[in-house]
Amino acid sequence: MERSLILVKPDATQRSLTGEIISRLEKQGLRLVAIKMLHLDKGLAQRHYAVHRGKPFFNNLVDYISSGPIVVAVFEGEGVIALIRKTMGSTDPAKAEAGTIRGDLGLDIERNTVHGSDSTETATQEIKLFFAPDEIFSP
Ligand code: IDP
Ligand code: MG
């Protein structure tokens, strides 16, 4: 069964949007199989966003994602990766459609409220960074 890692980013935990975001995903028929709150250190933030190392926004992104607590969760279901990407909306909230999480709740292209894995390979890597196998409650 396909899995996706999501992050409720610091801008969203700070604005008390965690429940709203998890709820929007559960309402898509996706099953929540793991969840925790944590404050990323710079090292883990750099590993999570390693693919963006060298880009102009990388250092700010690492500072931002480690600036406050985040909620990390795993959802499971058929086509979960694509469905979550669709529910999140475009990276830039200004371009994301109304009805998407980023379109409705995102602040700007950096503080865009939520992360979701973009492929099965990245999902597997990202989930391993945050969860031990016995922390994932697959039915
Ligand atoms: P995604 O989150 O929609 O997959 P990516 O291109 O993978 O978008 O970028 C990862 C994260 O980096 C974004 O969610 C956003 O927080 C930040 N980011 C992406 N592009 C920019 C930018 O041009 N300026 C500032 N931050 C950016
Ligand atoms: Mg991405």
115 is catalytic: yes
- In the prediction, which pLDDT does 67 show? 98
Mean pLDDT of the chain: 97
User: In this predicted model, what pLDDT tens digit does every residue of 78-105 receive, in sequence order?
Assistant: 999 999 999 999 999 999 999 999 999 9
Q: pLDDT per residue over 25-80, tens digit each?
A: 999 999 999 999 999 999 999 999 999 999 999 999 999 999 999 999 999 999 99
Neighbours of 55 (CB within 10 A): 10
Domains of the chain: 2-135 (3.30.70.141)
pLDDT at 71: 98
Burial class (CB in 10 A: 0-12, 13-18, 19+), 73: buried
With a pLDDT cut of 90, the percent of the chain lying above it is 99
57: Cβ below 6 Å to ligand 1? yes
Identify the residue whose tokens are 């190392």: 53
pTM for the model: 0.98
Mutate to test the pocket of ligand 1, among 6, 40, 57 (most ligand atoms within 8 A of CB): 57
Cα gap 71→6, rounded to integer Å:
8
The answer to whether 101 touches 30, Cβ cutoff 8 Å, is no
Return all residues near 109 (Cβ < 8 A) that are at least 6 apart. 91, 92, 93, 94
pLDDT at 139 over 90: no
